[in-house]
Chain A
């Protein structure tokens, strides 16, 4: 009993261990989909005649962008201008506005007055020197994104990613706080098809090739699986017939057992003596629907 319980506990522990491992992997994945999707997207160092904050003041600002298809809450994460102090500005928790919608932006004012609200960091951007800006995860150790803005930025000209969330940085043609750095007023994919494939032949050829490729691959795989399955089926049938363990011509164990039983019965004289007269006697039974087979069997559908 104790051994059984021990084994059972061991099994449960193993199961729990696997479940915990899966949960851990899953939670890592979930985390990866969250704050790691945030990118510093656009920075305006000198704000002379540009966007005004809710207090009517003009200051430099840092825009972050959610590159994922899910809402990301940046509460608890950190913004900093000091590589040695990753936790310089903790983004406050409890503000619904820290949830950034998919492919949307949030703007942080670099006015050095954190008391002005969630989106006012406790440092400023210095126009006379390089500005280091970094975004850290909520553990204060995992660096998610960083950028160094060179000194000598022009007033009211922002530096940012040329396409939101993408790698390439540069001077942006226009300042775009809380909006896309690259404004798309057309659907590039559709325009491309309109220009290069107005008849639809290109789409037909490409798409049908992919459909055929997918189904040909499935065909080839299942052709092989079919061959393997048929071979396995034959092996199993052979094994079940008992032909596998003895050479052709050799008598199987079943046959030997039957012969031995017959010889034993003959020696012991236990075999009953049968009369060779066949008698057919009619047995009369009264029919009753209660004992009829047709009422106790399931009928198959007629169609």
Chain B
């Protein structure tokens, strides 16, 4: 009786051991956990996009705790598990539009309205998307996968998740992690190329201060923006519709509570859920593939192309502008929609060459135009390849 009880305990203990993470761990799990820890480190130590890297980093840890597949409904890919239910916002694509609602409610389009030609810089920077698309095709990805990879160049996490969940769900984890990583690394990636493509004289260009924009213009902007862009690219409706809706909540002046909810508690909640579930979706078995490495390389190239295209486009545009109306090419990088980090880089670099030349306000124009441009580009890709 005593012996049988002891053997029962021993068997139970052995069974329990097979359930532990230590028993089920593979080298892949440890690699992914290391990546998650790097994300958390970068977020805390260097404050690189902490709002995104902390949830994603922690999500990577959560998603890479090894466990025995015993139908306990704990993994993110197990139907009905808590993580799986939260992950549906990503797979069904309804988190990104809600994030866009919040972005719209916190974005001030004044800089763009006061100087609408800055919109074109936001368009030029989208070359990053299609440059990466072209390269992805050359390295063997299918057109729909290439579209999902290319959108990394838009430097817009929610758009990248939205599009990749529609075009190539199998690549979504790698695309999202790549997009957010490079968005966090914008201060490192962009400056060398901004310096490379500009002369000292160009960096010193002073731009006219933006004029004061009336509230009527601010109200009209989201309405016309929505109608025009969505009539042109209806497939961009989920993102553009919510972006402009959020902005109208802000600018109408009569829905302050709704605007505050959209840009406050709502976007915070969705950011937490989106970050942690995207992080958790990068399970070693799904994520550690050669394709992920290729996606990371292509993502970096797409950021470089987007930055360079923005800067070079401003230089080209300046050929047609009169003296006094010229644009400082250091705001060209802000055409990627990493708001407001890329605009901040324009400011920092501008001040480096002229401590009295403040470019932030000007750079916010192409920066928010980049958000619109990347959403339009995503709509086009979805329309063609979806």
A, B: real partners? yes
A residues within 8 Å of B by Cβ? 187, 189-190, 193-194, 197-201, 203-204, 206-208, 210-219, 221-223, 225-226, 229-230, 232-233
Verify A214–B232 contact, CB threshold 8 A.
yes
B214's contact among A207, A219, A233, by CB below 8 Å, is which? A233
Contact present for B116 and A207 (CB under 8 Å): no
* Cα A197 to Cα B130 with chains together (Å): 13
Residue of A at shortest CB range from B127?
A: A208
Would you call B142 and A208 a contact (CB within 8 A)? Answer: no
Cβ contact within 8 Å between A200 and B146 = yes
B14 contacts A by Cβ under 8 Å: no
Between A and B, 28 residue pairs with Cβ closer than 8 Å are A187-B144, A189-B384, A189-B386, A190-B142, A193-B385, A194-B142, A194-B143, A197-B143, A198-B137, A199-B138, A200-B130, A200-B143, A200-B146, A201-B134, A206-B384, A207-B130, A207-B381, A208-B130, A214-B229, A215-B119, A215-B122, A218-B116, A218-B229, A222-B116, A225-B113, A225-B217, A226-B211, A233-B214
Residues of B within 8 A of A (CB): 112-114, 116-117, 119-120, 122-123, 126-127, 129-131, 133-134, 137-138, 142-144, 146, 211, 213-214, 216-217, 220-221, 224-225, 228-229, 232-233, 369, 372-373, 376-377, 380-381, 384-386
Q: Could you tell me if B133 and A214 are in contact, using CB atoms closer than 8 angstroms?
A: no
Q: How distant is the Cα of A197 from the Cα of B229 in the complex, in angstroms? A: 26
- 8 A-B pairs besides A190-B144, A218-B116, A218-B225 with CB distance below 8 A are A190-B143, A203-B143, A211-B373, A214-B376, A215-B123, A215-B372, A216-B120, A233-B214
With A and B bound together, what is the CA distance between A279 and B79 in angstroms? 87
Check if B123 sits within 8 Å of A229, measured CB to CB: no
The chain A residue sitting closest to B232, CB to CB, is A214
How distant is B324 from chain A, measured CB to nearest CB, in Å? Answer: 17
Whether B120 contacts A203 by the Cβ 8 Å rule is no
With contacts defined as CB atoms under 8 Å apart, how many contacts are there between chain A and chain B in the complex? 118
Considering only CB atoms, which chain A residue lies closest to B224 in the complex? A221
Closest-CB distance, A204 to chain B (whole angstroms): 4
Chain A hits for B143, CB < 8 A: 190, 193-194, 197, 200, 203
Leading 6 A-B pairs by shortest Cβ distance: A200-B134, A204-B130, A222-B116, A193-B143, A215-B123, A215-B119
What are the residues of chain B within 8 A of A194 when measuring CB–CB? 142-143
Question: Which residue on A lies nearest to B212, using beta carbons?
Answer: A233
Of the candidates A212, A230, A233, the one having the most CB atoms from chain B within 10 angstroms of its own CB is: A212
A215 smallest CB distance to B (angstroms): 4
In-complex Cβ contact of A190 among B120, B369, B385 (8 A): B385
Known: A200-B146, A203-B384, A222-B221. A212 touches B123 (CB 8 A): yes
Which residue of the partner chain A has the closest CB to B130?
A204
Contact between A199 and B123 (Cβ–Cβ < 8 Å)?
no
Q: Which residue of chain B lies nearest to A224 when distances are taken between CB atoms in the complex?
A: B116
Which residue of chain A is the closest to B142 with respect to CB atoms?
A190
Please name all residues of chain B whose beta carbon is closer than 8 Å to the beta carbon of A204 when the two chains form the complex. 127, 130-131, 133-134
